Amino acid sequence: MAKALSQFTRQLVAQNPVTHQILGVCSALAVTTSLDTALMMSAALTAVICLSSAIISFLRHHIPQAIRLIVQITIIASLVIVIDELMRAFAFELSRALSVYVGLIVTNCLVLGRAEAFAMRNPVAPSLLDALGNGIGYSLILIIVGSIRELLGHGTLLGITILPIVADGGWFQPLSFMQLAPAAFFIIGLMVWSIRSLDLSEAEIAEYDLQGERSQG
Amino acid sequence: MTDLLVASIFQENLVLAYFLGICTFLAVSERVDTAVGLGIAIIAVQSITVPVNALILNGALVDGAWRWAGLPDVDLSHLRLIAFIGVIAAIVQILEMTLERFFPRLATALGSFLPLITVNCAILGGSLFMAERQYSIPEAAVYGFGSGLGWALAIIAFAAIRERLRYSDMPRAMHGLASAFLVTGLMSLGFAAFARVPL
Q: Between B22, B177, B180, which is nearest A26 by CB?
A: B22
User: pLDDT over 90 for what percent of chain B?
Assistant: 18
A42 interfacial to chain B (CB closer than 8 Å): no
Among all residues of chain A, which has the CA nearest to that of B18? A30
Helix or strand run (H / E) with residue A56: helix A35-58
Mean pLDDT of B86-99: 85
User: What pLDDT score does A50 carry?
Assistant: 93
User: What pLDDT score does A158 carry?
Assistant: 82
User: What pLDDT score does A46 carry?
Assistant: 92
> Considering just the CA atoms, what is the radius of gyration of chain B in Å?
19
Lowest mean pLDDT among A90-94, B38-42, B166-170, B182-186: B166-170
ipTM of this complex: 0.81
The answer, yes or no, to whether residue A213 has pLDDT greater than 50, is no
Q: Say if strands A156-157 and A160-161 run parallel, antiparallel, or are unpaired.
A: antiparallel
State how far residue B182 is from chain A, nearest Cα, in angstroms.
5
User: What pLDDT score does B71 carry?
Assistant: 73
In chain B, the N- to C-terminal Cα span, in Å, equals 11
How far apart, in whole angstroms, are the C-alpha atoms of residue B136 and residue A7? 49
User: What pLDDT score does A216 carry?
Assistant: 41
- Mean pLDDT (chain B) is 84
Tell which residue, B92, B91, B96, B99, has the closest CA to residue B56: B91
- Assess contact for A163 and A170: CB atoms under 8 A: yes
Under an 8 A CB cutoff, do B169 and A200 touch?
Answer: no
Q: Residue A165 pairs with which residues in a beta bridge? A: A172
State how far residue A104 is from chain B, nearest Cα, in angstroms.
6
User: What pLDDT score does A157 carry?
Assistant: 84
- Assess contact for A192 and A201: CB atoms under 8 A: no
The answer, yes or no, to whether residue A214 has pLDDT greater than 80, is no
In chain A, the N- to C-terminal Cα span, in Å, equals 53
Q: Between B19, B23, B185, which is nearest A22 by CB?
A: B23
> Considering just the CA atoms, what is the radius of gyration of chain A in Å?
20
Confidence label for A215 from pLDDT (cuts 50, 70 and 90): very low
Lowest mean pLDDT among A76-80, B60-64, B77-81: B60-64
- Of A36-40, A113-117, B167-171, the range with the highest mean pLDDT is A36-40
Mean pLDDT of A120-124: 86
Q: What is the DSSP annotation of B68-94? A: GGT-TT---GGGHHHHHHHHHHHHHHH
Interface of A with B in 150-209 (CB under 8 A): 180-186, 188-190, 192-194, 196-197, 200, 202-208
How far apart, in whole angstroms, are the C-alpha atoms of residue A98 and residue A38? 9
Count, residues in chain B: 199
Under an 8 A CB cutoff, do A196 and B17 touch?
Answer: no
How far apart, in whole angstroms, are the C-alpha atoms of residue A29 and residue A9? 23
Burial of A89 (0-12, 13-18, 19+ CB in 10 A): exposed
User: What pLDDT score does B155 carry?
Assistant: 92
